[in-house]
């Protein structure tokens, strides 16, 4: 199996952010937008004879006789988010954050080679993914040289489209507790942390029996 691929990518992103703070709280909120367009051309062939399109057979027919794949990927992502840290006292902080994300995925397949496995053929394929993620953090500073914290957060990797076939998003819930300390007149710094990550629909790419899976 031989392949040669040429691709381009153009992208645009814009973020609008608002920040406010005083002695009692810190607030960050905003909107985010991302757009990209990525055309691609792939020559894919197998080392087996193929009928020649010319009168005189070419030695390259056996290599590139499977054809050419031409695609255009168009992706948009929009999000709104906010995070607030509330100072309950001089030593205790509580933080909460939330983010809503909408991802639009589109793959236009104009031509596809016979050796391209795992595809649905020429067409326009679209998928939309929506996710609300959050984070929560509790922080305690028993003295000026020590900080203890506990955190829970969720993460999200958008789904997509591979050869016309959509695949699900990847989701993560993360738990962490830890401490950051300094002692011996600040000559020694010790940071420790314990964490647990719980994945759902972990995204992996595989090539099985001549076909590509995600």
Q: With 70 as the cut, is the pLDDT of residue 210 above it? A: no
Q: With 70 as the cut, is the pLDDT of residue 57 above it? A: no
Count the neighbouring beta carbons within 10 Å of the beta carbon of residue 7. Answer: 11
Torsion angle, alpha carbons of 113, 159, 212, 8, to 10: 50
pLDDT at 62: 47
Q: With 60 as the cut, is the pLDDT of residue 54 above it? A: no
Mean per-residue pLDDT of the chain:
88
pLDDT digits (tens, 9 = 90+) for 118-163: 557 899 999 999 999 999 999 999 998 999 999 999 999 999 998 8
**Contacts of residue 135, Cβ cutoff 8 Å, sequence gap at least 6:** 83, 95, 96, 97, 98, 151, 152, 153, 154
**Contacts of residue 37, Cβ cutoff 8 Å, sequence gap at least 6:** 9, 10, 11, 72, 73, 74
**Contacts of residue 157, Cβ cutoff 8 Å, sequence gap at least 6:** 169, 170, 171, 203
Q: What is the mean pLDDT of residues 5-24?
A: 95
Residue 4's pLDDT band (cuts 50, 70, 90):
confident
Q: What DSSP string describes 42-71?
A: EEEE-SS----SSSS--TTHHHHTT-EEEE
* pTM higher than the cut 0.75: yes
Which residues of 8-122 form beta strands (DSSP E)?
10-21, 25-45, 68-87, 92-111
């Amino acid at each position: 199996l031989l392949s040669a691929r040429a691709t381009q990518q153009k992208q645009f992103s814009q973020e609008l952010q608002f920040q406010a703070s005083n002695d009692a709280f810190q607030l960050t909120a905003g909107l985010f937008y991302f757009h990209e367009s990525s055309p691609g051309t792939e020559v894919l062939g197998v080392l087996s004879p193929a009928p020649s399109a010319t009168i005189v057979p070419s030695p390259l027919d056996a290599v590139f006789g499977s054809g050419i794949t031409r695609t255009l990927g168009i992706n948009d992502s929009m999000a709104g988010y906010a995070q607030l840290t509330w100072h309950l006292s001089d030593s205790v902080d509580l933080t909460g954050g939330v983010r809503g994300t909408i991802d639009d995925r589109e793959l236009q397949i104009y031509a596809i080679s016979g050796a391209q496995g795992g595809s649905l053929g020429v067409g326009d394929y679209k998928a939309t993914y929506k996710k609300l993620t959050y984070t929560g953090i509790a922080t305690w500073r028993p003295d000026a040289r020590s900080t203890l914290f506990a955190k829970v957060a969720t993460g999200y990797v958008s789904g997509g489209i591979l050869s016309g076939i959509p695949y699900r998003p990847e989701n993560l819930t993360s738990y962490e507790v830890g401490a950051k300390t300094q002692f011996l007149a600040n000559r020694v710094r010790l940071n420790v942390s314990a964490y647990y990550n719980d994945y759902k629909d972990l995204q992996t790419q595989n090539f099985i029996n001549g076909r590509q899976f995600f």
